[in-house]
Amino acid sequence: MKVLVSDNLDPVGIQMFQNADGIEVDFKPGLSPEELKKIIGNYDALAIRSATKVTADLLSTAKNLKVVGRAGIGLDNVDIPAATKHGVIVMNTPGGNVITTAEHAVAMMMSMTRNIPWGTASLKAGKWEKKNLEGRELYNKILGIIGFGKIGSIVADRARGLKMQVVIYDPFVTPEQIEKAGYTSITLDELYAKADYITVHVPKLKDTLNLLNKDAFDKMKNGVMIINCARGGIVNESDLYNAIKSGKVAGAALDVFEKEPPGASPLFELDRVICTPHLGASTQEAQVNVATAVAGQIIDYLKNGTIANAVNVPSVTGELLKKIGPFLSLADKMGSLITQLSKGPFKEIVIEYTGNFDGLDMSPVSTAVLRGLLVPVVKDDVNFVNANYIAKERGIKVTETVAAESEDFINLITVKGITSDNTFLVAGTIFGKKDPRIVRINNFRLEMHPSGHLALVHNLDKPGAIGSIGTVLGRNSINIGRMQVGQEEEGERNIILLKTDLPIPEPVLEELKALPLVKTVTLLEL
């Protein structure tokens, strides 16, 4: 079996492939997309980092490809739906570089605080500007951490060792879990108002894009310092520039940028900005860790069929996969949907299986629910292997029940998400042999294809409601591809599920919300 390594990988990983019986490896970093496309059909496995783009076009020519392994966490460069369609397993290596990234964030904070980059440059220029380079102490300062995942929790631990006061905002982790770890859970606005330093450790998602923008900076303390070693685009660079120029923000330490490489950025003209070229995961230890992990996973899969850290398939036998495959896709979408509807931390997830499941082992389907539920929150960190662990780590109790009969369907999966304040319910089934449908959202009955750009509208059940919604979308050149209407049980409202060809932009969303017969509009991506 042949493995292609198309990006730079630590020699320890290459050596592992060379030492594996029955494995032939080619190390060819720097191939152009055209060159890669010409040869990919010869390989059973592809090992990559961030440079290689695994596109739908590339996968269409990869006739023998069975697995793609990413040495690292992020999978923005892999078309996962296309890989799944072609039967290609996609693996990553979560955990290999979390300590390294956390340490880099702390190093950036300390360097900025004590003016180390400016002091170095000044001294090398023959100057002695001691009075102009007065810094701060970190002791007893308030560090606001946005995101309490693996990296954020390590940063919190290191900051506690520095005797800083640590406050945490993470809408998907219960305050009880944060407080159990020994930190203070606060709202985002409270964090803005209190923190002397703010560091972000969240994935780049629709809800986190431009999270730190002008409105956020306006709410912060004067003299706050910003650290971003997560993903470019979470901090709005233009708004950060203005906040530093005005004196609101005293300094920024950036390892990631909206565009990479960023080229000539106005931020680089400011004295109070330090930056590194996405070095968060760049240590010898991290590179060895991820190279060893990806090589071991690919070898184990090719030789033994063992699946580890896969993001698009659970670890099950091929025979069981044929039987439950459609339910896996449905469950994943249901989990994602319930997270997007709730916008808050779950205390418990109840998964109910009713109908004719013929004694099947449905535990992989439950795992798919949890993966779908967690991906909008932690993105690439979660897969079919660790979804249950991450749910437990976040304090989510998972309960499964099975009943023999379903009133309306041959088989039905119902997921209830319980928060401190509410319970959210999503139910789904399979039409025919493999066509997934969402058939209930809370008290509304409907028939929904769970895919694409969606808008969930609650409106008063009165004439003109649907027409007014269509008028707004039409006026803004947004085509409705599909519409489903459901009625509230014993109520006066409708639920309208719209599938649009394009995502609905923020100004159009606000226009819809302002319609007199519309109560709420929630945008969903599945």
Lowest mean pLDDT among 39-43, 82-86, 301-305, 489-493: 489-493
Lowest mean pLDDT among 117-121, 349-353, 407-411: 407-411
Catalytic residue check, 104: no
* φ and ψ at residue 90, rounded to 5 degrees: -115, 120
* pLDDT for the residue numbered 322: 74
In the chain, the amino acid numbered 31 is: L
DSSP conformation class of 356: -
108 — pLDDT class (breaks 50, 70, 90): very high
* pLDDT for the residue numbered 380: 67
When pLDDT is averaged across residues 210-220 and rounded to a whole number, the result is: 97
* pLDDT for the residue numbered 515: 94
Choosing from 70, 278, 437, 440, the catalytic residue is 278
DSSP states along 104-129? HHHHHHHHHHTTHHHHHHHHHTT---
Distance of CA 53 to the CA centre of its chain: 19
Catalytic residue check, 260: yes
Choosing from 24, 260, 269, 510, the catalytic residue is 260
When pLDDT is averaged across residues 187-202 and rounded to a whole number, the result is: 97
In the chain, the amino acid numbered 103 is: E
Q: Name the residue among 400, 393, 339 with its Cα closest to residue 366.
A: 400
Catalytic residue check, 407: no
326 — pLDDT class (breaks 50, 70, 90): confident
Q: What is the mean pLDDT of the chain?
A: 91
CATH topology of domain 1-94+283-313: Rossmann fold (3.40.50)
Q: Which residues neighbour 108 within 8 Å (Cβ) at sequence distance 6 or greater?
A: 227, 229, 253, 255, 274, 276
* pLDDT for the residue numbered 491: 63
Q: Name the residue among 288, 273, 229 with its Cα closest to residue 107.
A: 229
Give the pairing type, strands 184-185 and 165-169.
Answer: parallel
DSSP conformation class of 145: E
Could you give the CA distance from residue 412 to residue 330 in angstroms, rounded to a whole number?
11
Give the pairing type, strands 249-254 and 411-418.
Answer: unpaired
In the predicted model, is pLDDT for residue 315 greater than 70?
no
468 — pLDDT class (breaks 50, 70, 90): very high
Choosing from 231, 394, 449, 493, the catalytic residue is 231
Could you give the CA distance from residue 348 to residue 371 in angstroms, rounded to a whole number?
15
Domains 1-94+283-313 and 98-275 share a fold: yes
CATH topology of domain 98-275: Rossmann fold (3.40.50)
Could you give the CA distance from residue 8 to residue 73 in angstroms, rounded to a whole number?
16
* pLDDT for the residue numbered 316: 61
**What is the SS3 assignment for 513?**
helix
In the chain, the amino acid numbered 64 is: N
DSSP conformation class of 480: E
What does the radius of gyration of the chain's CA atoms come to, in whole angstroms?
Answer: 25
Sole residue written with tokens 């896996």? 328
In the predicted model, is pLDDT for residue 228 greater than 70?
yes
DSSP states along 202-258? ----TTTTT-BSHHHHHHSPTTEEEEE-S-TTSB-HHHHHHHHHHTSEEEEEES--S
In the predicted model, is pLDDT for residue 259 greater than 70?
yes
Assigned token pair, 391 = 């749910």
Q: How many CB atoms lie within 10 A of CB 299?
A: 23
Break the chain into its structural domains and give their ranges.
1-94+283-313, 98-275
* pLDDT for the residue numbered 317: 60
**Which 3-state string (H, E, C) describes 387-432?**
HHHHHHHCCCEEEEEEECCCCCCCEEEEEEEECCCCEEEEEEEEEC
* pLDDT for the residue numbered 490: 61
DSSP states along 456-478? EEEEESSTTHHHHHHHHHHHTT-
* pLDDT for the residue numbered 388: 84
In the chain, pLDDT over 70 holds for what percent of residues?
A: 97
